[in-house]
Chains A and B, each alone.
Chain A
Amino acid sequence: MIFPTLNFLLFFLTIWVVSWALVACGRHGLHKLVIIAASYVFYAFWSWKLTFLLAFNAIVNWAVGRGIELGRATRWQKVAVTLGVAANLSVLGFFKYYGWFSGELNELLTTVHVERELPLLEIVLPVGISFFTFQGISYVVDLYRGHLDRARGFIDVAFFLSFFPHLVAGPIVRASAFMPQLEKPPNPNRVFVSLGVMLIVWGVFKKAVVANWLAVGLVDPAFRDPTGYGGADLAAATYGYAVQIYCDFSAYSDIAIGAAALLGYRFQRNFNQPYRAVTIADFWRRWHISLSTWLRDYLYIPLGGNRGGRLRTYRNLLVTMLLGGVWHGAAWSFAFWGGLHGLWLGVERFVYGRFGWSPVEAARRWHVLMRGLGILVTFHLVCLLWILFRAADLERAEEVVLGLTHWSQPAELLTPFLAALIAIGLLIQFTPSDMIVRLDHIYQRLPVVAVGVLAGLSLLLIEAVGGDGSAPFIYFQF
């Protein structure tokens, strides 16, 4: 089941009614159970068999949480958290990386004429596994670090890990931020309805109109056969993909945050106008914020962060971004994508460090013209690296990059409509940062009926402009 479909609309409206009815009756425990059951049903739409993996994940993390609690102030606490992190990483490693690892190893063994081969298994990649395993790690590590006051019961752990708005493509919700929200039932008189409605309608527009048309009309054909198109089309497809992936992924986050808000729960912001970033460090403060802060707090800082001197900092940045790249997928192109981001973060840190600044601080001190130049350079660097991310393999990525230098062929794919979508995708990066607050003020002044009519009109327009059907979100594959 995917978000901008009638299936999801019916599913969500049913859950919304039942969930608030149970809250109104004072049945908080049952309310949680119903949401957990709904989340498993939501997941079962992809594969009912994989719901057992989700349940296994909840049981393991709950048990590890109990272990950490029982072993407080003893070395067993460390043993428990290590086991918990290892269990989550093993699940992720087996389902996501075994196939890649065994394929690469077998190739290596063949080149050195060794007969033994690792068995190649047909492993189905469970949708959302990268997200719920990282959340499992967040639970056990937050508990170990004392960011969570105590281990939670099984129901709360299962709720946190499986809550359907974030289940398959994030945002990666932190245990320490989310679990305290489960202590009390949500308050039906204090719900951010305007935020929920605005984010859902806006998300559906970004996905159904901008991301879908750019994928179908420009990006997919160009990246399928880069040698068949000239530099103009490949450049448009590269910009188009930058806009497509932003509109696709941020749409999912918006709908997830909006759906959670309407059910009375709060998620962290996941995107903050990333293409207005002045440096790559600034970009990572604005893009997939829940992942970049997760990597910072659970990987970069435990590795030593910037505490062990300059060289160690560069190493830690590189390792963190390399692993962040591989988190997206088991392929060399993702490793290179992450590694190159890490490398550039190191370059920025080195250059600005000469002036005693951090890359983010430096950007703040710049003159407005320099900031504009910084935005242009950062955006183009990000676009160039997106080629690695989008291309089916490294050879195809090379073909796109080489094709960008041949401008003799006229543009075949780029139409005024697609150019307008790219322009919209870029212009929304520069809207006022308090746009939601301004829209909320308008919402507060309008009668609720008028908001309903506006929402209905927006959805009808989206339906009229959007194509038939809805493609899966890009981040489902991760």
Chain B
Amino acid sequence: MQKPVQPLGTKDLEAGLRPTKASDFALIAGIAVAMLLVFNSQGLMTWTQRLPSSATTAWLAERAYEWHGCMERLGTAQLMERLKLVFRQYTPET
């Protein structure tokens, strides 16, 4: 039997890290997704419009449009747009 040159698979990435509960991720993901929905409602709307057309996706696109309208009235959608405009000054033309 041939011996491996070094132990197969490594734990080096996890070395020194402390494992936690899986449920922590639910809270982290929930907050991050909520922030994306509030500030990047334009992205959600664009995504729903690009889905294959069907009654369900049309309904979804309508709800996303309404949601984006709400966020525009709140002013959070404009914040993201302004931030994008700031960076557009530096990024290449596409």
Contact = CB atoms under 8 A, between A and B. Distances in A.
Interface stretch (A50-58, A62-70, A333-341, A460-468): A460-468
B80 A468 contact: no
A464 B25 contact: no
Contacts of B14: 192, 195, 266
Nearest to B11: A266
B63 to A, nearest CB: 15
A356 to B, nearest CB: 21
B20 A191 contact: yes
A444 B28 contact: no
A191 B92 contact: no
A197 B9 contact: no
B90 to A, nearest CB: 4
A459 B80 CA distance: 12
B74 interface: no
Contacts of B21: 188-189, 191, 193
Contacts of A145: 1-2
Interface stretch (A357-365, A374-382, A412-420): A412-420
Given A297-B5, A301-B5, A415-B92, A262 B22 contact: yes
Contacts, number: 151
A434 interface: yes
A296 interface: yes
A139 to B, nearest CB: 12
A309 interface: no
Contact of A20 (B11, B20, B22, B92): B22
B27 A448 contact: yes
A463 B40 contact: yes
Contact of A216 (B9, B10, B94): B94
Interface residues of B, number: 48
Interface string A246-278: 000000000001000010101011000000000
Interface in B25-45: 25-36, 39-40, 43-44
Given A262-B25, A455-B32, A464-B80, A195 B17 contact: yes
**Category for how many chain A residues contact B:** 35 or more
Nearest to B79: A460
Nearest to A175: B8
B83 interface: yes
A437 B6 CA distance: 23
A465 B80 CA distance: 11
A131 B30 CA distance: 33
A453 B30 CA distance: 10
B43 A188 contact: no
B4 A449 contact: no
30 contacts: A13-B33, A16-B25, A16-B29, A17-B26, A147-B4, A174-B9, A177-B8, A177-B9, A178-B9, A188-B23, A189-B21, A192-B20, A195-B13, A195-B14, A216-B92, A262-B22, A293-B6, A437-B15, A437-B16, A448-B24, A448-B27, A449-B31, A452-B27, A456-B33, A459-B32, A460-B35, A463-B43, A465-B87, A465-B91, A468-B94
Interface of B: 1-2, 4-6, 8-36, 39-40, 43-44, 47, 80, 83-84, 86-87, 90-92, 94
Given A194-B17, A269-B10, A463-B43, 18 more contacts: A6-B44, A177-B8, A191-B19, A191-B20, A193-B21, A193-B25, A195-B13, A195-B17, A197-B28, A217-B91, A296-B5, A417-B91, A444-B20, A452-B32, A453-B31, A460-B40, A461-B83, A464-B84
Interface of A: 6, 9, 13, 16-17, 20, 142, 145-147, 174, 176-178, 188-197, 213, 216-218, 257, 262, 264, 266, 268-269, 293, 296-297, 301, 415-418, 434, 436-437, 440, 444, 448-449, 451-453, 455-457, 459-461, 463-465, 467-468
